[in-house]
Amino acid sequence: MTYPPRPGGWLDQPAGGWQEPAGPPVYLDPASGQPVTFPGLAPYSPPPDYAYLPYQAPVMVPSRRTNGMSIAAMVVSIVGLLSSPCWGVPGIAIGLVGAILGHVGYRQTKERDESGGGMAIAGIAIGWIAVLIGLVIIAIYVFFFLALRNAVNQYPYPTPTYS
């Protein structure tokens, strides 16, 4: 961000070369700090200093509250996604809870004008992905169980002979 130039700078001076100051320079007494006047010289007053305003204290802008249901939805959905490979059932149950929390949290963010809508959407998406992965894992386990059972049933066993 740029600020406009201060008035009275070199851009405001008329063209034409060197400009003499408005009066003689001011000499200050080193002991008292008061201006010293010399006989025969007119007193000199410097032009007013157009100082910038001092820095203001930072102001904390109140922000919107984050919906707790949205945070819970995202956390529970991530836990459901991580637990999906464990036989699939925990991933389905926890992911379903996370997706439902996400739907409730998203509705609450709209009704209460709270932040956290993105976390609610993430909770919904991750929750349903956890449910889908859990179902795929269960389908894989069932397929391998049935294939193993079929292979065992097709295996020719020798008949025992008792003598």
Nearest in space to 127 (alpha carbons), one of 101, 99, 92, 103:
99
pTM here is 0.58
Instruction: Say if CB 8 and CB 46 are below 8 A apart.
Output: no
Radius of gyration of the chain from its Cα atoms, rounded to whole angstroms? 41
Say how far apart CA 51 and CA 122 lie, in whole Å: 51
The residue ranges of every structural domain in the chain are 68-152
Q: How far apart are CA 43 and CA 33, in angstroms?
A: 16
pLDDT in tens, the chain (163 residues): 666 666 665 555 555 566 666 665 566 777 777 777 666 555 555 555 556 666 777 888 888 899 999 999 999 999 999 998 888 888 999 999 999 999 999 999 999 999 999 999 999 999 999 999 999 999 999 999 999 999 888 888 777 778 6
